[in-house]
Amino acid sequence: MDAQQLTRQIYWSPSGGLNEILHMTTYLWLLIAGVVFAYGVWKHIKLWRMGKPEVSFDRPLDRFILLFRNVVAQAKVLRVRRQRDPKPKSVYAALMHGFIFYGFLTLFFATTIVALKDYHILDIYYGWFYAFIKVSCQIAGVALAAGLLMGIIRRSDKKLEFKHSLGYTLLYSFLFLLVVQGFLLQGFRLAFQENAPDESWAFVGNLISFLFPKEISPENANALYTGLWYFHMVTTMAFIAVVPYTRAMHIVTASLNLYTQRLAPAVLLAKMDFENAEAEYFGARDLKDFTWKDLLSFDSCTECRRCTDICPANAVGKPLDPREVILKLKNSMTVEALFPKEGEEEKYYLYENGTITHNEIWSCTNCGGCVNECPVGIDQLRTIMQLRRYQTLSLGEVPTAAGKAIENIKQYSNPWGLPHAERFKWAEGLDLPIITGDTPEVEYLYYVGCAGSYDLGNQKVARAVVNILKYCGVNFAVMGKAEKCNGEPVKRLGDEYSFSEIANSNVEQLNKLKFKKIVTHCPHCFNTLKNDYQEYGGKYEVYHHSQLLTELYKSQKLKLPVEVNKTVTFHDPCFLGRHNGEYDAPRQILEAVAGLRLSEMELSRETSSCCGMGGGNMWYESEGGGKIVENRLKHVAKSGAQTLVTGCSFCMINFKSAFQNLEETKNLEVMDIAEAIVMAMPSEAKNAASMPVN
Q: What is the pLDDT of residues 532-571, one digit of tens each?
A: 999 999 999 999 999 999 999 999 999 999 999 999 999 9
- DSSP assigned state of 81: B
Strand partners, 456: none
Q: Which of 563, 564, 568, 565 is nearest to 640 (CA)?
A: 568
pLDDT tens digits, residue range 371-408? 999 999 999 999 999 999 999 999 999 999 999 999 99
- From its phi and psi, is residue 90 left (phi > 0), alpha (psi between -120 and 50) or beta? beta
Number of H helices, E strands in the chain: 27, 8
Confidence of residue 581 (pLDDT cuts 50, 70, 90): very high
Q: What is the pLDDT of residues 210-255, one digit of tens each?
A: 888 878 888 888 889 999 999 999 999 999 999 999 888 988 999 9
> Looking at residue 686, what is its pLDDT?
64
Of 319, 496, 321, residue with least CA distance to 398: 496
Range(s) for CATH 1.10.1060 in the chain?
281-397
- CA nearest to 475, candidates 689, 677, 693: 693
Query: Residues 638-676: pLDDT tens digits?
Result: 999 999 999 999 999 999 999 999 989 999 999 999 999
Q: How many CA atoms lie within 13 A of 230 on its CB side?
A: 15
| pTM value > 0.85 | yes
Give the number of other Cβ atoms within 10 Å of residue 508's Cβ: 12
Residues 6+ apart with CB under 8 A from 655: 571, 611, 629, 632, 633, 644, 646, 668, 670
pLDDT above 90: residue 576? yes
Three-state secondary structure readout of 581-649: CCCHHHHHHHHCCCCEEECCCCCCHHHCCCCCCCCCHHHCCCCCCCCHHHHHHHHHHHHCCCEEEECCH
**SS percent in the chain: helix, strand, coil, step 5:** 55, 5, 40
Starting from the edge strand earliest in sequence, which strands make up the sheet with 669-672, in order?
596-598, 566-571, 643-646, 669-672
Cβ atoms 272, 392 nearer than 8 A: no
Which of 688, 683, 598 has its CA nearest to residue 643?
598
Q: What is the pLDDT of residues 119-143, one digit of tens each?
A: 888 888 888 898 999 999 999 999 9
pLDDT in tens, 66-108: 888 888 887 777 766 555 554 555 677 788 888 998 999 999 9
Asked if residue 44 lies in contact with residue 244, where contact means CB atoms within 8 angstroms, the answer is yes
Q: How far is the C-alpha of 473 from the C-alpha of 479, rounded, in Å?
A: 19
Question: Residues 583-594: pLDDT tens digits?
Answer: 999 999 999 999
Pairwise CA distance, residues 2 & 377, whole Å: 49
| Topology of the domain comprising 281-397 | Fumarate Reductase Iron-sulfur Protein; Chain B, domain 2 (1.10.1060)
Q: Report the 10 Å Cβ neighbour count for 480.
A: 16
Residue-wise pLDDT tens digits, 476-503: 999 999 999 999 999 999 999 999 999 9
Residue 568: strand pairing partners: 598, 643
Residues 97, 77 contacting (CB under 8 angstroms): yes
Q: Is 291 in contact with 297 (CB distance < 8 Å)?
A: no
- What is the C-alpha separation between 506 and 312, in angstroms, rounded? 33
Classify 677 as helix, strand or coil: helix
Whether residue 362 contacts residue 612, with contact meaning beta carbons closer than 8 Å, is answered with: no
416 confidence band (pLDDT: 50, 70, 90): very high
- Span of 75-79, 288-292, 420-424 with lowest mean pLDDT: 75-79
What band does 334 get if pLDDT is binned at 50, 70 and 90?
Answer: confident
pLDDT at position 2 is 55
Residue 691, pLDDT above cutoff 60: no
pLDDT band at 573 (very low <50, low <70, confident <90, very high): very high
Which residue, among 262, 286, 320, has the nearest Cα to 617 in the 3D structure? 320
Q: Which tens digit of pLDDT belongs to each residue from 149-196?
A: 988 887 776 666 655 556 777 888 889 999 999 999 999 998 888 888
What pLDDT is recorded for position 355? Answer: 93
Q: How far apart are CA 489 and CA 615, in angstroms?
A: 7
Nearest alpha-carbon partner for 14 in 267, 296, 214: 214
Reduced to 3 states (helix: H, G, I; strand: E, B; else coil), residue 341 is coil
